[in-house]
Structure 1
Amino acid sequence: MVEWFLYMSQYRMPIDEFVVRSQAAEGSGFGGVAFFDHLETPGMPSSPVWEAMGIATWVAAKTSRITVGHLVLCDAFRHPAVLAKQAVTLAEASGGRFELGIGSGSMPTELATFGLRTGDAAHRIDRLDRDLTLLKEYWGGAQSPAPTKPIPIVVGGTGPRTMEVVRNHADWWNLPGPQLGRLPELLPAIGAARASVQQMVGFARRGSDPREVAETSRKRWGQLGPGLVTGTADELVEFFTGLSEQGVQRFYVWFSDSAQPDAIEEFGETVIGRFPTA
């Protein structure tokens, strides 16, 4: 059995568009939705972008079943005491439907732009390790209220120190799609965490030309390398089955065309629906 999350980068579109897509995902076999965490849109600083915890809270209020989370929150953006309180509040308000996805921060220029002085990559991962330790202390009773049930932690990344953080703290480890070739090498290093993959998908729907879908997707996202897969429902089922057989237990599906709700529904029917359910 695998889990399916719809991943959306919350820029350009009005907030209600993300709500509609989340509701479509909820009715189509997806178990969750995930957003990114940036203060400006990567590569397009003038493009409007919605704040990560705010949009997750709004989507949780507008859905009833799916989990909400992030790939991933930037540790440097929030003091751990504040993040711990936000996480507990959202988890309780949603009936336990929040997961805390977090990373050390992948865009040093963004941090510098907004005056977040976080040091080099080694310093940032050390800080993430420290802050996750503090989060667990806050949730364990150092803050009140404590969570009524555990809040799952998702950590993304592939560096040796990051993998140590995964083993120390994470319930889930996420592998970015561009590094998919490293899956066999890294899986033994995740300890008790479960493996997920974030994958950009060019979905060739019924009646579409798969070659045109592939060409359009590659023009926009070809820089992702193996992080982009294109094909018909049958081809995507084969692709995701292969990863599942290697030990991946969750897929974060990122549609190359910011899929319309009916495309999300078709993906649920023709791809997700062909995998075993609990």
Structure 2
Amino acid sequence: MTIRFGVFVPQFRLGVGEVKARAVAAEQAGFDSFWLMDHLYSPGGRPTDSLESWTLLTALAGATSTMRLGHLVGCAPFRHPALLAKMAATVDHISGGRLDLGLGWGSVEAEFETFGIEVGTRRERAEALDETLEIFRLMCTGEQFDYDGKHFRMRGAYGLPTPVQDRIPVHIGGAGRTLTMPLVARHADWWNCVGHARNRLEELAPLKGDARISVQYAVGFADTAADIPDVTASVARRLPESGWGAPLIGTGDALTEQIALEHRRGVELFVLRFHDFAPPETLERFGREVIAPLQSVLQSRSDQVIV
């Protein structure tokens, strides 16, 4: 099983140049993917600058060349599925086939109320996401189609141009047994387990179908052992366990060991949110002290199996 690393940088209180600098640094450090949030504001926070995610993604596509790009996760109720598919195909072309489509049915109900977006109940939003993903795949074929669903109806619809990739990977985020996991099993290439559900990973994994596992982690990356108390306090303040689960905290060696243990649980893609907002120097150091050693060890084990 491979190991991959993504960095999650929610784009509030950051300018375009600051986000681009982080994306470039992440790519150079060996991260495989870069992820944005998809909100109209910073949920639960004070009013602050918050850049629109799809527009920002196009800027990141132009600033990078190898790293995959996406949202964890996109909010499906914000956009009609035909528009979403058109946007995804366009970003896939701009990036040269590097888009991953992260989607969820929208769990921040206060956001819908604040901005007057009619979305229905949670079950209705999950049903609409099911239809959205069906329509997305139909749009990606470039062929005309009719669609008769409970929430969406189309006649002679089609999506051109088709994406660069034969199949844009779909990531579905969440951990609900009733509404989310059935969608993961039907549609997802990746199941993105939210941090607070990580303690139920083994319980939920049998419900994911063929989807691969990615997990979100809060990370406190300490420069030295003496820095760990301050880093721990910063993580507790900025990334509480109620939302992010138990954090990974320590120096490079300690984080390498913690990530190796999580990898043995079946996690293939580690999506990390750093306590210090992931400045370029943190990303470079993480790549050098954690990503490179872990990949070297896994490659060595793979070579031994082949022999």
- Pairwise same-fold verdict (TM > 0.5): yes
In the alignment, is residue 140 of structure 1 matched against residue 138 of structure 2? no
SS at match of 2:162: coil
Offset at residue 223 of structure 1 (A): 3.8
In the alignment, is residue 205 of structure 1 matched against residue 223 of structure 2? yes
Contact 1:5 1:34 in 2 (8 A): yes
1:142-221 superposed matches below 5 A:
142-149=158-165, 150-160=167-177, 161-206=179-224, 209-221=227-239
Out of 253, 258, 263, which is 2:272 matched to?
253
Alignment correspondent of 1:10: 11
Q: 1:70 to 1:267 in 2, by over 3 A?
A: same
Structure-2 separation of matches of 1:57 and 1:237: 32
Q: Who wins on radius of gyration, i.e. which is larger?
A: 2
Offset at residue 198 of structure 1 (A): 0.6
Contact 1:198 1:252 in 2 (8 A): yes
Q: 1:148 to 1:17 in 2, by over 3 A?
A: closer
Q: CA RMSD in A?
A: 1.4
SS at match of 1:201: strand
In the alignment, is residue 35 of structure 1 matched against residue 54 of structure 2? no
Stretch moving more, 224-233 or 135-144: 224-233
Structure-2 separation of matches of 1:166 and 1:223: 24
Structure-1 separation of matches of 2:68 and 2:237: 32
Structure-1 separation of matches of 2:230 and 2:77: 41
Stretch moving more, 24-33 or 202-211: 202-211
SS at match of 1:216: helix
Contact 1:205 1:263 in 2 (8 A): no
Aligned-pair identity in percent equals 38
Contact 2:225 2:251 in 1 (8 A): no
SS at match of 1:131: helix
Contact 1:56 1:69 in 2 (8 A): yes
Offset at residue 152 of structure 1 (A): 0.7
Structure-1 separation of matches of 2:139 and 2:122: 25
Name the count of aligned residue pairs.
278
Structure-2 separation of matches of 1:147 and 1:25: 25
Offset at residue 145 of structure 1 (A): 1.6
Query: Which residue identity is paired with 2:188?
Result: A
Gaps of 5+ in 1: none
Structure-1 separation of matches of 2:27 and 2:163: 24
Q: 1:208 to 1:66 in 2, by over 3 A?
A: farther
Query: Which residue identity is paired with 1:200?
Result: A
Q: 1:44 to 1:31 in 2, by over 3 A?
A: same
In the TM superposition, structure 1's runs of 4+ consecutive aligned residues that sit over 6 Å from their partners are: none
Structure-1 separation of matches of 2:226 and 2:62: 35
Contact 1:176 1:227 in 2 (8 A): no
Contact 1:205 1:266 in 2 (8 A): no
Out of 275, 290, 293, which is 1:274 matched to?
293
Query: Which residue identity is paired with 1:101?
Result: G
Alignment correspondent of 2:50: 49
Contact 1:199 1:253 in 2 (8 A): yes
Query: Which residue identity is paired with 1:108?
Result: E
SS at match of 1:212: helix
Query: Which residue identity is paired with 2:279?
Result: Q
TM-score (norm 1): 0.96
Alignment correspondent of 2:122: 121
Query: Which residue identity is paired with 1:155?
Result: I
